[in-house]
Amino acid sequence: MTQGLPRVNQQASAAEHTQGRHSSVTASVVICAYTLERWDDLRAAVASVVAQLSPADECLVVIDHNEELLAEASHAFGGPDGVHVMSNADKRGLSGARNTGVAASRGELVAFLDDDATAGPGWLDGLRSALSEVDMVGAGSAVVPRWPGGARPAWFPPEFDWVVGCTYLGMPAHAADVRNVIGAGMAFRREVFELVGGFSTDVGRVGAIPTGCEETELCIRVRQAKPEVRIGFLPSIEVRHRVSADRLTALYFLRRCLGEGRSKARVAALVGQDAGLSSERSYVRRVLPRGVLRELARGMRGQFAGFKAAALIVAGLACAGFGYVTAHSRKAGISR
């Protein structure tokens, strides 16, 4: 979740910077993968990054404890294109895999792309340009859903696009400072990891379990350690994130909301409730009520999917709240 503090220049300005000004800033792009079921996605992700690498850049493919996938990736990507394949040397899960990539990387900035996403034109240079700002230490791009069949399901509320790992309605419409970025397309200066360490393995996705928030927790720790630094959201550069058909069910929607609530409880336990829930409070009070009213009005106009969307907004919020409360109570019970 994010809060808009419009200080970042529009990313259109990235095109105005000369290539020479930023090309000397080396970049490492980390792509983490855990299953052969996304093999075609992984190949597309790597290809989209390789096309944007400068000679001194690199792409690191980190395989999360899957020997068959490791062998396949080593065979497919080994070569002179700046791609290095390695096994997760840390705890199983996305946080551990990302930490392995950071430890093996050598770039001055470290970018992250999901294995089922593709980087849009100018994505890496856009992040490189943003992180050239003196006080900007992290930046994230827009994450655009690529729906099955090419169209958004009529019942899927855009305020909940985070359920499928994408930019959602309620995030800033223009470049802005934010509390945290979305993990599918983001980058940090190397100094971030030197300052606060890596991603916490106490939060984050493990395999297909619908949890997350490891990038949220990292961004909050950065700001707590160094309040004067900035983290930016850059909606004019993007990655396209494939949404698989199995994520387009009401059951997955509600399970993901439940997992998000549990993840937020873990984040709040690590960084404090005020920091851990600052953006979420505004989202619940301002964004979601407008979404319910819009969808009800759509239903009243005869677009009956609007009624389902309104119900899912309410149910999604309830599931996230239940997940948070139960996980928070469990943590509190353990600590006593």
Q: How confident is the prediction along the chain (336 residues), in pLDDT tens digits per residue?
A: 433 333 333 333 333 333 444 457 999 999 999 999 999 999 999 999 999 999 999 999 999 999 999 999 999 997 778 899 999 999 999 999 999 999 999 999 999 999 999 999 999 999 999 999 889 999 999 999 999 999 999 999 999 999 999 999 999 999 999 999 999 999 999 999 999 999 988 875 665 555 678 899 999 999 999 999 999 999 999 999 999 999 999 999 999 999 999 988 888 888 887 765 778 888 999 999 999 999 999 999 999 999 999 999 999 999 999 998 998 776 554 343
DSSP-derived 3-state class of residue 144: strand
On whether residue 135 sits in a domain, the answer given is yes
| Residue 328: predicted pLDDT | 73
pTM over 0.95: no
**Could you tell me the CA-to-CA distances from 245 to 35, 43, 185, 252 in Å, in that order?**
17, 19, 21, 10
Contact 97, 201 (CB under 8 A): no
| Residue 111: predicted pLDDT | 98
| Residue 280: predicted pLDDT | 84
| Residue 255: predicted pLDDT | 94
| Residue 78: predicted pLDDT | 74
On whether residue 302 sits in a domain, the answer given is no
Residue 307 to residue 209: CA distance in whole angstroms: 28
| Residue 11: predicted pLDDT | 37
Structural domain including 137 reads 12-247
- Give 220-233 as a DSSP string: HHHHHH-TT-EEEE
| Residue 163: predicted pLDDT | 95
On whether residue 149 sits in a domain, the answer given is yes
| Residue 7: predicted pLDDT | 35
| Residue 208: predicted pLDDT | 57
On whether residue 311 sits in a domain, the answer given is no
On whether residue 201 sits in a domain, the answer given is yes
| Residue 282: predicted pLDDT | 87
On whether residue 65 sits in a domain, the answer given is yes
Pairs from 99-105 (Cβ < 8 Å, separation ≥ 24)? 99/198, 99/199, 99/201, 100/62, 101/28, 101/30, 101/32, 101/60, 101/62, 102/30, 102/193, 102/198, 103/198, 104/60, 104/62, 105/28, 105/30, 105/58, 105/60, 105/190
Q: How many domains does the chain have?
A: 1
On whether residue 254 sits in a domain, the answer given is no
On whether residue 315 sits in a domain, the answer given is no
- CATH code, 214: 3.90.550.10
| Residue 16: predicted pLDDT | 38
Give the end-to-end CA distance of the chain in Å, rounded to a whole number: 30
